[in-house]
Amino acid sequence: MKFAHLSDCHIGGWREPKLRDANTKSFRMAIEKCLNEKVDFILISGDLFNTAVPGIDSLRMAVEQLKKVKDTGIPVYYIAGSHDFSPSGKTMLDVLEHAGLAVNVARGEETYDNKIKLHFTVDKKTGAKITGMLGKKGSLETSYYYQLAKEHLESEPGFKIFMFHSALAELKPKELEEMDAMALSLMPAGFDYYAGGHVHVVDKQTIGRYKNIVYPGPIFPNNFSEVEKLKHGSFVIVDNGNVQHIPLPVHPAVCISIDAEQKTPTEVESLVKQQLLKNDLTNAIVAIRVHGCLRQGRPADVRWNDLFHDAYAKKAYFVMKNSNAFTSKEMEVIMVKEANVEEVEISLLQQHAGQFKLSANDVELAKRLMQSLSAEKADGERNVDFESRLHSELDNLLG
């Protein structure tokens, strides 16, 4: 038995068109590899799309790829994730399933005592028994797990796969300390493979009766920090029990970190320049992080345009910077102006959440609302369609 395990594709996720394209390329590359490897089936552990109702371009690309997979006779099994889940069922995943392009395995029935009894979806070719639980915003799926009837799942014979889209407390990486996570004990034990998603890390662990708990990592890094940490996307191919992480290096990542402590803007500039010169930037995503407090001058004095120009002159694919922790003693306000827009938004939301004692979920909701509202009309999309798409997306978000 040979199968692929993808997760967190976040198609349509990046605002910058170039990075959105890179994300798309990465997804295509993953599908291409799955076809080349002749896998028996493909698992997608949540967040195929970045929203429940993705833009036309994203949808077209996903359908195109899934159709190619279907035509080759490879079934795709999926669960909804925290981004593409919809309580009302108005999600594009549903459309894909109805079109026969993928099968949602998070299905079951409610028992008389208010438990959820999940059903297995049996892969015809291999006989693998697949089931799973969707992911929801703010880890709200945890309450479903508490109501999960586990006995029949655990006693079912055969090769079993459990798909999930949740962070697990026991396996949470250090840098995601603040992330909500649930206890591993809420999942049914004794499966042969736990196909995880939601946490953007590359990991494979076994804890007690839970073996092969695998997070394949996102198909493409989802933010600045992930570009730094992961460099590229990845997925997993499991060949007769052998778990192999497959990298998806659509663009090389060049990550530059500059310590600006006690330096001048000119010195910072020259340090960045040196790094840009030293590295091969051809087709690369260049991530420049500057941190520390300047001796004199302001972060705004750094001539970023020139630096970006230099990088693009060296054929960089995309250049981005993070100056979140780049400050000067005199003008701290400038730092906020200079930082990446999304990060400023998040930081402001978090500050206000502290003041008004909002829950973490509200911050997440606000982030998602802002993201949805900043969506632009797609090529060829009618005003009325765009409006209705926006309405439906907001309906979904506001539940």
Partner 1 sequence: MLGNPATKLNGFRARISDMTKGLIIGGEFGNILVRQKTAQALELGELMIADTTNGQMLLQVFDLLYGSQLTQQHLELISGLKLEEDEKLELMDAKLRTYVLARLKNLAFISQNAAASAKTLPTFFTKVREIVAADVSFITTPLHPLFLGRLRSGSKVLEVPVSIDGRKALSHHILIAGTTGRGKSVLMTNLLWDLLNKDFAAMLVLDPHDEYYERLQKHPDAREQAVYYTPHNPPPGGRTLKIHIGQLTPRHFDGAVSWSDAQKQALHAYYNSYKDSWIEAVIREHNLKQQFHEGTLAVVKRTLMQLLGLDVEEENVLCRGIFDINAGQTTIPDIVNSLEQGKTVIIDTSSFHGNVEVLVGSMIAHMVLERHKTYSLQEMRSKPVVSIVLEEAPRVLGKDVLERGPNVFSTIAREGRKFNVGLLAITQLPSLIPREVLANINTKIILGIELKPERQAIIESAAQDLSSDERMIASLDKGEAIVTSNFLSFAMPIKIMHEEHKAAVKPRQSFDGLRMDVTE
CA dist 142 and 168 (Å) reads 10
For partner 1, the closer CB: 17 or 87: 87
For partner 1, the closer CB: 86 or 275: 86
> Could you tell me if 233 and 221 are in contact, meaning their C-beta atoms sit under 8 angstroms apart?
yes
Quick check: 34 binds partner 1 (CB under 8 A)?
no
Backbone phi and psi for residue 345, each to the nearest 5 degrees, phi listed first: -55, -50
- The binder of partner 1 chosen from 126, 205, 212, 372 (CB under 8 A): 205
CA dist 159 and 210 (Å) reads 14
Quick check: 61 binds partner 1 (CB under 8 A)?
no
* CB-count burial class (<10 Å; 0-12, 13-18, 19+) for 340: middle
CA dist 154 and 213 (Å) reads 16
> Could you tell me if 312 and 347 are in contact, meaning their C-beta atoms sit under 8 angstroms apart?
no
Compute the least distance from the CB of residue 130 to partner 1, in Å: 13
Compute the least distance from the CB of residue 188 to partner 1, in Å: 10
Identify the H or E element spanning 321: strand 318-322
> Could you tell me if 326 and 335 are in contact, meaning their C-beta atoms sit under 8 angstroms apart?
yes
Quick check: 80 binds partner 1 (CB under 8 A)?
yes
For partner 1, the closer CB: 169 or 331: 169
* Residue 262, both tokens: 């006690």
Q: How many C-alpha atoms does 169 have within 13 Å on its Cβ side?
A: 7
Give, in order, the Cα–Cα distances in Å from 357 to each of 59, 64, 342, 351: 37, 45, 21, 10
Quick check: 116 binds partner 1 (CB under 8 A)?
yes
- The binder of partner 1 chosen from 33, 119, 229, 291 (CB under 8 A): 119
Site for partner 1, residues 310 to 349, rule: CB under 8 A: none
Quick check: 199 binds partner 1 (CB under 8 A)?
no
* Residue 53, both tokens: 């109702």
For partner 1, the closer CB: 21 or 94: 94
CA dist 178 and 135 (Å) reads 18
- The binder of partner 1 chosen from 32, 110, 261, 332 (CB under 8 A): 110
Q: Which stretch binds partner 1 (CB under 8 A): 67-75, 169-177, 218-226, 342-350?
A: 169-177
Quick check: 53 binds partner 1 (CB under 8 A)?
no
- The binder of partner 1 chosen from 16, 32, 64, 109 (CB under 8 A): 109
Instruction: Build a one-symbol-per-residue string for 356-385: x at contacts with partner 1 by CB under 8 A, - elsewhere.
Output: ------------------------------
- The binder of partner 1 chosen from 98, 157, 174, 383 (CB under 8 A): 174
Site for partner 1, residues 213 to 232, rule: CB under 8 A: none
For partner 1, the closer CB: 205 or 264: 205
Quick check: 186 binds partner 1 (CB under 8 A)?
yes
For partner 1, the closer CB: 124 or 152: 152
CA dist 55 and 301 (Å) reads 38
* Residue 11, both tokens: 């198609």
Please spell the DSSP secondary structure of 142-200, one letter per residue: HHHHHTB--HHHHH--S-EEEEEES-BGGG--GGGTTS--B-GGGSPS--SEEEEESS-
Compute the least distance from the CB of residue 29 to partner 1, in Å: 28
For partner 1, the closer CB: 24 or 139: 139
* 56-63 contacts at long range (C-beta below 8 A, 24 or more positions apart): 56/378, 56/379, 56/380, 56/381, 57/12, 57/378, 57/379, 58/11, 58/12, 58/24, 59/92, 61/11, 61/24, 61/27, 61/28, 62/11, 62/27, 62/96, 63/96, 63/99, 63/101
Query: How many residues touch partner 1 (CB under 8 A)?
Result: 42
For partner 1, the closer CB: 380 or 399: 399
Compute the least distance from the CB of residue 352 to partner 1, in Å: 16
Quick check: 252 binds partner 1 (CB under 8 A)?
no
- The binder of partner 1 chosen from 77, 85, 235, 318 (CB under 8 A): 85
Compute the least distance from the CB of residue 347 to partner 1, in Å: 19
* Residue 240, both tokens: 């007769």
Binding site for partner 1 (CB under 8 A): 80, 85-89, 104, 106-110, 114, 116, 119, 133-134, 136, 143-147, 150, 169-174, 176-178, 181, 183-186, 205, 207-209
